[in-house]
Amino acid sequence: MLKEMMVGVVGAGTMGRGIAQVASAAGHQVILMDLDREALEQAMAFLTKIQDRAVEKGRASRDEADALLARISTGSSLEALSGCGLVIEAIVEDSAVKGALFSGLESVLSSDATIASNTSSLSITALAAGLKHPDRFIGLHFFNPAPLLPLVEVVPALQSREGLGDEMLALMRQWGKQPALAQDTPGFIVNRVARPFYGEAIRILEEGVADVATIDWAMTELGGFRMGPFALMDLIGNDINYAVTESVWTAFHYDARYKPSFAQKRNVDAGWLGRKSGRGWYAHGEGAVLPEPRRDKDLGQDILWRILVMLINEAADAVFWGVASAEDVDRAMKGGVNYPKGLLAWAEDVGLSNCVDALDALRAKYGEDRYRCSPLLRARASEGRSFFA
């Protein structure tokens, strides 16, 4: 894929304008398309502000910033995208709405143009099935903010033509990203592997082991995570985070490992969505006082260890089921959600047998399938082999 290829982005919201910025920074002419002209104006104003700030801080020259902005044009009809070789959709997570868009795109794009979806939760294969030419379709899942986070999950559909995944991996590398190839399974890599970061933290809270502030403290101060699970859920929005968990749980035929929590559902029902509503797991807004954690290192190491082994187990199972390679799983968790280490490398640092023993102890204690050990993790521990061998 050459820089001469025009790139279209549909959707002028946070993700769409971020993807447009990334493509333009890589040298492409970009068409940012949205039916809402006001949204397009707001997107361009935002991108201009970002580039002005980059100049002020010395991260770009005025000429570079102006050139990046000049490469982005806007349009409010699909016909504006007719000359694009790649169009990336970043609109509402609704399969019917996306399907209508893809049908429209097929009517205006050339036969060799690629259509990609930035969906984080819908099946790429199911979306491709609605196209006349599903072989041209693929998932390109960027992470927010797209210009800053290096990960892009490249997700071929079952129908994608041979080689399309490799082409998109190469293109994303040209765009300065660190792509990871993922199989089209629920949650892809990150949204699947990350579920215990939230779910097990809430479980610990529900059991009365520790409060939200102490759990967050353990994960940030002792574990090195940039944000604790409850602070992160409040940032994402409890409604969004709960919906993703419920979607993954349903897609996996109600596997206990992904079971949503009553505590988070109650927050959603109460409208306690997090920062955007002024209250979530924490109080937010003017005058809000954050609770003090219980800085007990023994308790904190127990919390960290329990959540960490569940994350490690999920990462190992993703490799076991062929969702992605060990290298791509670790790349995804570092590049998409800023984990301090790749989970499988972390597992080898703390000892695979220790992870297996911890999971077996949790399963014996609770008698729940939630804590079943991944066959691959158990095998690697037994054989003394690395995930990366």
DSSP codes joined into one string, 20-37: HHHHHHTT--EEEE-S-H
150 and 232 within one domain: no
In a domain, 388, yes or no: no
Supply the pLDDT for residue 3.
63
Supply the pLDDT for residue 2.
59
Residues of the chain with pLDDT under 70: 1-3
- Residue 191 falls in the annotated catalytic set: yes
Which DSSP helix (H) or strand (E) runs through 236?
Answer: helix 229-236
- Confirm if 124 and 311 have CB atoms less than 8 A apart: no
- Residue 348 falls in the annotated catalytic set: no
In a domain, 186, yes or no: no
199 and 177 within one domain: no
Residues ≥6 apart with Cβ < 8 Å to 128:
134, 137, 157, 158, 159, 160
- Confirm if 43 and 76 have CB atoms less than 8 A apart: no
In a domain, 2, yes or no: no
CATH number of the domain encompassing residue 202 = 1.10.1040.50
* DSSP count for the chain of H helices, then E strands: 17, 8
Supply the pLDDT for residue 4.
79
Residues ≥6 apart with Cβ < 8 Å to 389:
none
Condensed to tens digits (0 to 9), the pLDDT of residues 185-216 reads 999 999 999 999 999 999 999 999 999 999 99
How many domains does the chain divide into?
2
Supply the pLDDT for residue 121.
84
Tally of CA atoms within 13 A in the half-sphere of 146 that contains its CB: 25
> Which of 89, 153, 200, 314 is an active site residue?
153
- Confirm if 187 and 249 have CB atoms less than 8 A apart: no
- Residue 153 falls in the annotated catalytic set: yes
The reported pTM is 0.93
235 and 126 within one domain: no
318 and 220 within one domain: yes
229 and 160 within one domain: no
Phi-psi region of 384 (alpha: psi -120 to 50; beta: other; left: phi over 0): left
Q: What angle do CA 142, 146, 150 make, to 5 degrees?
A: 75
232 and 151 within one domain: no
In a domain, 275, yes or no: yes
In a domain, 187, yes or no: no
Q: What angle do CA 132, 133, 135 make, to 5 degrees?
A: 150
In a domain, 72, yes or no: yes
> Which of 106, 141, 241, 247 is an active site residue?
141
168 class by beta-carbon count within 10 Å (0-12 exposed, 13-18 middle, 19+ buried): buried
Assign 182 to helix, strand or coil: coil
> Which of 117, 160, 191, 238 is an active site residue?
191
Condensed to tens digits (0 to 9), the pLDDT of residues 99-146 reads 999 999 999 999 999 999 999 989 999 999 999 999 999 999 999 999
- Confirm if 194 and 186 have CB atoms less than 8 A apart: no
Supply the pLDDT for residue 287.
86
For strand 7-10 and strand 30-33, is the pairing parallel, antiparallel, or unpaired?
A: parallel
Q: DSSP of 43-96, one letter per residue?
A: HHHHHHHHHHHHHHTTSS-HHHHHHHHHTEEEESSGGGGTT-SEEEE---S-HH
> Which of 120, 160, 238, 261 is an active site residue?
120
Q: DSSP of 95-137, one letter per residue?
A: HHHHHHHHHHHHHHS-TT-EEEE--SSS-HHHHHTTSSSGGGE
- Residue 141 falls in the annotated catalytic set: yes
Range of the domain at 241: 192-383
- Confirm if 274 and 236 have CB atoms less than 8 A apart: yes
